[in-house]
Chains A and B, each alone.
Chain A
């Protein structure tokens, strides 16, 4: 496949990932991950592995499921109020294309969040390691380096960024 076509396919995949989050399609979002896929948000860009270190998020699909079931539970009090997000994903750069079709891609994101009357902004860099499967790409690793990762959090993050 030509690089341009791969670029297009990967971009569409990244947009779908963001759309699942903004659309609160939690299970569909989890399904984007490979069976051993990891969602990782390190506290600092210098971290090299998600294992054995503090992490804002370091979740396999089982922990993702816990998080999903929590926000869907009727007694998740903090999920009751109006809550919406809007992701913009851009600056998509292919870093590696393997012979088997797996790719590594970096991009930038900006997420605006509305909770009750309060707006917050989170922005940063994504690194996606995508595995090529017969059903399209599957996320092996989604690394999220938030520019404001080290800033004090005014309230918390309830769902993936």
Chain B
């Protein structure tokens, strides 16, 4: 697809359906977006010991994130330079002192450098052997670690990770700052769920503040029914917070969602501001507050817990809920198939009760038996089916179009317009730029 064709795909308030369904466009996206920009690989606490590794997909490239003997986290292509065999067949593990190819036993250091080739002398006088970089496992062009969150870019050139993240860096700061020790560690479990739709549908849905009241009404109502019964029985008149997290999907009405705001940034990132009652005055919270004040002082503590964020979207592959210490990494598998990896983090130094509170959300909302995402995935599938049809050519992104506010390079939804489709418009604007359509 040529430059002029691409530029006809995106208009300020609508996009062509092919953006979601065309296999050729998908290939170009992988090349120009996912295999170019900074993509989240994982948290360094996933690989605490030398030799620990996780495999991860960046665009179409199978990669390995590994902890080296030098304590550094390296990101390598999961490919033997000899015959192209994948080096790690498991999703995670410990590779020991070295990587060893299961086909002809070439061995490599944790940073990818060739260690040994069996029958070395057979390569005498050939171009192959130690010192030839073509005999090393290829490394990701760039790797950066921000407060424990490891990102890789497969392109030599481009903005640094911090430049790329811009204001969206608050996702990681907010998460880590809420820990009395200033850092988080991964909870060793990853939920993985596949949806039958294009990857962009997931990202657009994350900050679509109108959809919860429609899509998640059933769970919200169901939780509210039980919450009311439990509240009546409870001493303090309140049901456990997890019921409120679920019932909010129904009790936060559309006009309340409009009170929130989305702030959209270059490269497609977006922040949704707003609370879901995450700062109650129960004994657990008060105990946590006390530890935090001791660690940071009252002024800094107020700043930290005053960060007003519900959700941060790091385009094109990460949705972060920092106040709940969880994130979803989006891995496109094909034009109509997408995998999400869902992780939960523990605030180092925080009381167990605080961990358990967000754990409840992780289990109820983000597990493969989710009470919430079942209906999202149903809609994504239906959306993809409809888009693949000839029943229409365009997808509308016009809600509150023309009322966005632009300031210092950021585009905010208008006042009382939290349900604006500004985030989708911003993502598509960034998309068009990445794709070379502008």
Write out, one digit per residue, whether chain B residues 210-226 have a CB within 8 A of any chain A CB (1) or not (0): 00000101110111011
Asked if residues B192 and A153 are in contact (CB atoms below 8 Å), the reply is: yes
A36 to chain B minimum Cβ distance, whole angstroms, is 15
Write out, one digit per residue, whether chain A residues 38-80 have a CB within 8 A of any chain B CB (1) or not (0): 0001011000000011111110001101111111011111110
Q: Pick the contact of A66 from B226, B356, B369, B377 — CB < 8 Å?
A: B226
- Known contacts: A54-B363, A66-B246. The answer to whether A44 contacts B189 by CB under 8 A is yes
Asked if residues A78 and B344 are in contact (CB atoms below 8 Å), the reply is: no
Which residue in chain A gives the minimum CB-CB distance to B369?
A: A157
Beyond the given pairs A52-B356, A70-B219, A75-B217, 14 more chain A to chain B contacts, judged by CB atoms under 8 angstroms and listed by A's residue number, are: A53-B189, A55-B363, A56-B369, A57-B367, A58-B363, A62-B226, A69-B226, A70-B371, A73-B218, A73-B219, A76-B219, A78-B378, A155-B194, A156-B369
Residue B13 CB within 8 A of the other chain: no
A118 to chain B minimum Cβ distance, whole angstroms, is 10
Count how many pairs of residues, one from A and one from B, have CB atoms less than 8 Å apart in the complex. 103
- Known contacts: A52-B359, A54-B367, A57-B367. The answer to whether A66 contacts B194 by CB under 8 A is no
Identify 18 residue pairs between A and B in the complex whose beta-carbon atoms are under 8 Å apart, listed by A's number. A52-B352, A52-B356, A53-B359, A54-B187, A54-B344, A54-B363, A55-B367, A56-B369, A57-B367, A63-B226, A65-B225, A66-B219, A68-B222, A78-B377, A154-B194, A156-B193, A156-B377, A157-B368
Bound complex: CA A52 to CA B364 (Å) = 13
Which residue in chain B gives the minimum CB-CB distance to A55?
A: B363
Residue A27 CB within 8 A of the other chain: no
A145 to chain B minimum Cβ distance, whole angstroms, is 14
Residue A25 CB within 8 A of the other chain: no
Q: Pick the contact of A65 from B226, B352, B375 — CB < 8 Å?
A: B226
Q: Which of A41, A57, A73 has most chain B Cβ within 10 Å?
A: A73
Q: Pick the contact of A41 from B196, B221, B226, B369 — CB < 8 Å?
A: B369
Which residue in chain B gives the minimum CB-CB distance to A115?
A: B378
CB neighbours of B205 from chain A (8 A): none
Residues in B373-390 with C-beta less than 8 Å from chain A: 373-375, 377-379
Asked if residues B370 and A66 are in contact (CB atoms below 8 Å), the reply is: no
Which residue in chain A gives the minimum CB-CB distance to B240?
A: A62
Asked if residues B226 and A57 are in contact (CB atoms below 8 Å), the reply is: no
A26 to chain B minimum Cβ distance, whole angstroms, is 12
B410 to chain A minimum Cβ distance, whole angstroms, is 34
CB neighbours of B223 from chain A (8 A): 66
Residue B362 CB within 8 A of the other chain: yes
Bound complex: CA A74 to CA B356 (Å) = 32
> How many of chain B's residues touch chain A, expressed as a range?
35 or more
Residue A4 CB within 8 A of the other chain: no
Which residue in chain A gives the minimum CB-CB distance to B239?
A: A62
Q: Is the interface of B mostly helix, strand, loop or mixed?
A: helix
Asked if residues A43 and B371 are in contact (CB atoms below 8 Å), the reply is: no
Residue A152 CB within 8 A of the other chain: yes
Asked if residues B377 and A155 are in contact (CB atoms below 8 Å), the reply is: yes
CB neighbours of B238 from chain A (8 A): none
Asked if residues A156 and B374 are in contact (CB atoms below 8 Å), the reply is: yes
- Known contacts: A78-B377, A78-B378, A156-B369. The answer to whether A54 contacts B218 by CB under 8 A is no
CB neighbours of B364 from chain A (8 A): 63
Residue B339 CB within 8 A of the other chain: yes
Bound complex: CA A69 to CA B368 (Å) = 19
CB neighbours of A69 from chain B (8 A): 221-222, 225-226
Bound complex: CA A29 to CA B269 (Å) = 45
Asked if residues B221 and A152 are in contact (CB atoms below 8 Å), the reply is: no
Residue B191 CB within 8 A of the other chain: yes
A59 to chain B minimum Cβ distance, whole angstroms, is 9
A21 to chain B minimum Cβ distance, whole angstroms, is 14
Asked if residues B192 and A152 are in contact (CB atoms below 8 Å), the reply is: yes
Which residue in chain A gives the minimum CB-CB distance to B188?
A: A54
Q: Pick the contact of B369 from A57, A68, A75 — CB < 8 Å?
A: A57
Asked if residues A78 and B226 are in contact (CB atoms below 8 Å), the reply is: no
Q: Which 4 residue pairs across A and B have the least CB separation, nearest first?
A: A69-B222, A73-B218, A78-B378, A152-B192
